[in-house]
Amino acid sequence: MIALEKARQYLEQLGLHHAASVLESRLEVAAQKQLPYPDFLADLLGLEAAARRERYLGTRTRLAHLPFHRTLEQFDFSFQPSIDERHVRELATLAFVADAANVIFLGPPGVGKTHLSVALGIKAIEAGYGVYFVRAHELLEDLRRVQAEHRLDRRMRVYLAPKV
């Protein structure tokens, strides 16, 4: 039991908190399945990597200020036939980010502009890009306010730092 506690302590010191929390249960599974040591280690580190990825995605999603969480797969293209699904799927490759191109969705309320924007934002977050969601009128009001407060340069960094 001393060795187990020592291993857990080392994992904690190395910042592998999830691995430390599941160490004992994963050791039991490895013993039951008679897993070789490298397989046990790969399993334990894989769980840590997955937990870190989830934390990263959660943090980046919160920082993006997305109004809700919707994916491209949840978008009903049959509901809005005027939207070119092929073009939207092409946007989902995120080539526009590498090209530093702008994407603007225009249309009346209720046609799916925000849903598509959020879905592309989620794709970008998953690809490792910084994302910040803001509606055009909110952006203009915010910029007008901070300009009057002589803080425009500082606020522009918030809007210009993310790639999407």
DSSP state of 83: S
- In 3D space, the residue among 105, 61, 57 whose CA is nearest the CA of residue 83 turns out to be 105
pLDDT band at 1 (very low <50, low <70, confident <90, very high): low
Q: Where are the domains of the chain?
A: 2-62, 72-160
Q: Both ends of the chain: CA-CA distance in Å? A: 50
User: Interior CA angle at 148 toward 146 and 153, to 5°?
Assistant: 45
Q: Is the pLDDT of residue 21 over 70?
A: yes
Residue bearing tokens 């993006």:
64
Residues 6+ apart with CB under 8 A from 46: none
Q: Count CA atoms closer than 13 A to 110's CA, side-chain side.
A: 1
Give residue-wise pLDDT tens across range 96-152.
999 999 999 888 888 899 999 999 999 999 999 999 999 989 999 999 999 999 999
Q: 72-160 belongs to which CATH class?
A: alpha beta
Give residue-wise pLDDT tens across range 39-96.
999 999 999 999 999 999 999 999 999 999 999 999 998 888 888 999 999 999 999 9
